[in-house]
């Protein structure tokens, strides 16, 4: 189960390249994001361009700001197979995943990071995906899947997801794109006894 709310940009306002003030499940900490429909066209990713399969109707973009950042704080499960007891014994694995990309040969990009923290908010571990370069996309508009896995650090109680879009070239549009971002946990038999 994806612990991130609205990791697919489907909920809340949006659907066009116009920036939105709020993004369901996320806190806008910088810039002005846009949740763009795959049916918009005019150079934005379409259902025919590389991206998640299956995909919803919208994706995240950096809107018209040079740097746009969205944050989501997640409380890790207290009980169950991926709860605190299993985390503290080193028996919970995480997977951070997302489709990240941009426009044609431009270097605008998106980066997804997840930072695990203890009960006092002290960072314990960090996983970073992206940005995906134009060369990695073959200078094609679209998104490429990126994933990272590891062991949730003992003592972790929360995770902070940060989705950052950066405009590196000219123009007014921040063409960093992201879709299908997720954080999932699984129990493993390995780890400390």
User: What are the pLDDT digits (tens) for 132-166?
Assistant: 999 999 999 999 999 999 999 999 999 999 999 99
* pTM given for the model: 0.95
* Res. 114 pLDDT band, cuts 50 70 90: very high
Taking all residues of the chain, what is their mean pLDDT, rounded to a whole number? 96
- DSSP class of residue 116 equals E
* Res. 169 pLDDT band, cuts 50 70 90: confident
Q: Which residues pair with residue 157 across a beta bridge?
A: none
- CA atoms of 31 and 14, how far apart (whole Å): 15
Residue 8, both tokens: 């697919």
Q: Among residues 69, 71, 68, which one has the least CA distance to residue 174?
A: 68
* Res. 190 pLDDT band, cuts 50 70 90: low
Q: Among residues 122, 186, 118, which one has the least CA distance to residue 150?
A: 186
Residue 72, both tokens: 């989501």
* Res. 172 pLDDT band, cuts 50 70 90: confident
Q: Among residues 122, 191, 189, which one has the least CA distance to residue 151?
A: 191
Residue 35, both tokens: 């949740």
Residue 121, both tokens: 């908010």
- CA atoms of 131 and 112, how far apart (whole Å): 8
pLDDT surpasses 60 at 193: no
């Amino acid at each position: 189960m994806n612990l991130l709310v609205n990791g697919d940009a489907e909920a809340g306002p949006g659907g066009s390249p116009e920036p939105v003030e709020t993004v369901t499940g996320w806190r806008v900490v910088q810039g002005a994001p846009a949740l763009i429909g795959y049916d918009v066209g005019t150079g934005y990713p379409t259902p025919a361009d590389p991206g998640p399969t299956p995909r919803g109707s919208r994706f995240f973009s950096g809107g018209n700001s040079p740097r746009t950042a969205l944050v989501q704080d997640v409380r890790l499960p207290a009980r169950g197979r991926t709860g605190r007891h299993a985390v503290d014994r080193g028996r919970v694995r995480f997977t951070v995943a997302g489709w990240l990309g941009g426009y044609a040969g431009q270097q605008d990009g998106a980066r997804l990071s997840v930072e695990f923290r203890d009960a006092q908010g002290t960072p314990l571990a960090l996983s970073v995906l992206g940005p995906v370069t134009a060369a990695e996309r073959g200078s094609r508009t679209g998104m490429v899947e990126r994933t990272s896995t590891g062991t949730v650090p003992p003592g972790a109680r929360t995770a902070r997801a940060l989705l950052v879009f950066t405009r590196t070239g000219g123009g007014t549009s921040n063409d960093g794109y992201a879709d299908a971002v997720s954080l999932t946990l699984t129990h493993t038999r390995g780890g400390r006894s």
